[in-house]
Amino acid sequence: MEKFTKLGLSRDIIKVLEESGFKEPTEIQEKAIPLAIAGKDVIGQSATGSGKTLVFGSAIIENLKAKKIIQALVLTPTRELAEQVAESLKKFSKYISLRVTAIYGGVAIEPQIKNLAVADVVVGTPGRILDHMQRGTIRLDEVKILVLDEVDRMFDMGFRDDVERIVSKCPQRRQTMFFSATITKDIDYFSKKYTKNAVVVEVQSYVDPSKLHQFYYDVPSSMKFPLFVHLLKHESSKLVMVFCNTRQNVDWVARNLKLNGINAEAIHGGLSQKKRSDTLEGFHESEVHVLVCTDVAARGLDIKGVSHIYNYDIPKTADDNTHRIGRTARAGEEGKAVHILTERDYDNFRKITKESTSKIKREEIPLNIERVQMSTERRFGGGMRGGNYGRRGHAGAGGNYGRRSYGSFGGGGRKSRDDISRSPGRGFRRGDRFQRENRDKRISGYRGSRHGGHRRSHYGSRSEYSGAIAGSRY
C-alpha cells in the first residue's frame, strides 16, 4: 500500500483498498489521483477497467464533507455503469459518512426523490437527471465536483445536448473531470469549453498486447452459428463476452445458445432494469458463463475474469472494436478475441485490421463441427444474420428450412431435415472449399463477381444474402 499512500490518499481509503485486495495503482491512478485530490480539472483518456473510478472517487471522498446537499455529480452513459460507479464510491467511502445515490431510468422515481433529498453524491444518466431537474427534485447549485465518465459513449448515444444542459446548471466555480476512452475533436472542444486549465492525462491501453491473441474465421453465412457453438463448446474459457450490433441479434444468439446447452444470457437496453441487473450479477458471480450484449449495454462495465471476446457481428468502427477486445487480456492475464465474419462483414473488418495494434491471425475452420439446434421464430419480422427469412421461412445460419419451429443444422442449403441428419457437415465441407478461394483478396478489398465466390447459396442459385440483408432493418 506504500504506492497508494504516496499518492496522497487518506488512511480511510487505504484501509478499504487493503480490504479489497488492491496491490498497486494503475497507470491512470498513479498519474491522476494527486491531481484530482489537489482540486485540478482533469481530462483523462483511459479505457474501461483502468481504475479511473478511484481517481475521481479520491477527489470526492478526500475533499467533501457530509452535508446532505448534492456536492458531487457523476454523469454516466448507461444505467449499469451508474449503478457500478455508485457501488464503487460507496465502497471507497466505507469509513466516511458520505451518502451516494444512483439515479437512472427504468425504475420507480419516488425512491430516487427521497434519496436525492439527503444525498451528498449523485451518480446518474443524463436523461433521468434532466427528468429530476424538470420536476425540481434535484438541485445542482452546490455542486463542487462534476465528473463526466465515458464521455465518448455519451456523445455516441446522442446525449451531448443533455449533458450541456446539465453542465450549464452547475456552478462555474467547481472541479471538473472528463474521462473518455477516445478523445475526438468534438470531445476535445467540449472538455476544454467546460474546464479551466485542465491537465490532460493519457495512458496506454489497459490491455497487455503481448497477452491478447486475436483470430478470425472467414465463413459462409450458413456456417456462422454452428462454428460459433463449436468454438464455445471446445474452447477452454472462463467468462465469455459476445458482441452483436443489434438488440435483435443479441436476443437471437442468446436464445439459440441456450437451445444448444450453453449457459448464456442477453443484455441490452430493451430489457427491464431488474433483468439487466440480475444478468450482470449472475455474470459477475460466474453463474452465467456467456454474456451476449450490445456495445451500449456493455459500455463502461468493469468485469474481471473475461478470457474470451467474440465478435459475432463485426463492429462498424475500430474504436468499438477497441472497446470490445479491451475487456480481456487485463492485468497480466491471457486473453483471446475471435472475429467471425462472412462476406457482408468485409468492409467493417478492413477498418479494424487497419488500426489494430496486434496481428489478427486467420484460423482454419474445424472439420468436426456438430449439428446445432436453432429457433426459427419469426418474432423480428426480418431476416436474421446468415440466412433467408422472408416468405420461405427463417433459416438463421443454416440456409432455407421451411416452416418448422426448430431445425437441426449441419450445413447450409435447401436440404430436408432427414438429408441433413444423414450427411452432417456436408454443407460445411462444400462451403469451406468455396470460401477458401480468393479469401484474402476479398478481405483486402476485392469483392469478386456478383455471382462468384460463395455469394450464391451452395445448393441453389438464389443468393444466400438476399433475404438476410433485405430483412435486417432493425
DSSP states of 100-133 as a string?
EEEE-SSS-SHHHHHHHTT-SEEEE-HHHHHHHH
Q: Is there a single domain that holds both residue 162 and residue 288? A: no
| 235 within domain boundaries | yes
| 378 within domain boundaries | yes
Q: Is there a single domain that holds both residue 195 and residue 294? A: no
CA atoms within 13 Å, Cβ hemisphere of 419: 10
Distance CA 389, CA 108 (A): 39
Per-residue pLDDT of the chain (474 residues; tens, 9 = 90+): 889 999 999 999 999 999 998 988 989 999 999 999 999 999 999 877 788 999 999 999 999 999 999 999 999 999 999 999 999 999 999 999 899 999 999 899 999 999 999 999 999 999 999 999 999 999 999 999 999 999 988 998 899 999 999 999 999 999 999 999 888 899 999 999 999 999 999 986 666 677 899 999 999 999 999 999 999 999 989 999 999 999 999 999 999 999 999 999 999 989 887 898 899 889 988 999 999 999 877 776 778 889 999 999 999 988 889 889 888 887 678 899 999 999 999 999 999 998 877 789 999 999 888 888 887 553 433 334 433 333 333 333 333 333 333 344 444 333 333 332 333 344 444 444 444 445 555 565 534 333 334 333 333 332 322 223 223 322
Distance CA 399, CA 409 (A): 9
Give residue 277's pLDDT: 83
Q: Is there a single domain that holds both residue 87 and residue 42? A: yes
Q: Is there a single domain that holds both residue 344 and residue 299? A: yes
| 207 within domain boundaries | no
Distance CA 116, CA 118 (A): 5
| 406 within domain boundaries | yes
Question: 261: domain range?
Answer: 212-470
- 147, 175, 202 - which closes a domain: 202
Largest interatomic CA distance in the chain: 75
Give residue 438's pLDDT: 52
**Do residues 396 and 383 make contact, with C-beta atoms less than 8 angstroms apart?**
no
Sheet containing 145-149: order of strands: 100-103, 121-124, 72-75, 145-149, 175-180, 42-45, 199-202
Give residue 175's pLDDT: 99
| 265 within domain boundaries | yes
Distance CA 48, CA 104 (A): 20
Q: Is there a single domain that holds both residue 122 and residue 192? A: yes
| 50 within domain boundaries | yes
Within 10 angstroms of residue 342's Cβ, the number of other Cβ atoms is 23
**Do residues 62 and 10 make contact, with C-beta atoms less than 8 angstroms apart?**
yes
Q: Is there a single domain that holds both residue 331 and residue 446? A: yes
Q: Is there a single domain that holds both residue 144 and residue 119? A: yes
Within 10 angstroms of residue 158's Cβ, the number of other Cβ atoms is 9
Residue 439: which residues within 8 A CB-CB, separation 6 or more? 218, 362
For residue 315, which of 243, 264, 399, 250 has the smallest C-alpha distance?
243
Give residue 439's pLDDT: 54
The structural domain count of the chain equals: 2
Q: Is there a single domain that holds both residue 196 and residue 228? A: no
Orientation angle between helical segments 273-284 and 79-92, nearest 10 degrees: 60
Q: Is there a single domain that holds both residue 187 and residue 244? A: no
For residue 150, which of 73, 58, 71, 82 has the smallest C-alpha distance?
82
Give residue 465's pLDDT: 28
Helices (H), 139-243: 151-156, 160-168, 185-193, 224-234
Q: Is there a single domain that holds both residue 165 and residue 238? A: no
* CATH number of 90's domain: 3.40.50.300
Q: Is there a single domain that holds both residue 223 and residue 167? A: no
| 193 within domain boundaries | yes
Distance CA 285, CA 291 (A): 12
- 150, 175, 202 - which closes a domain: 202
Q: Is there a single domain that holds both residue 246 and residue 366? A: yes
Give residue 210's pLDDT: 79
| 27 within domain boundaries | yes
- 202, 231, 256 - which closes a domain: 202
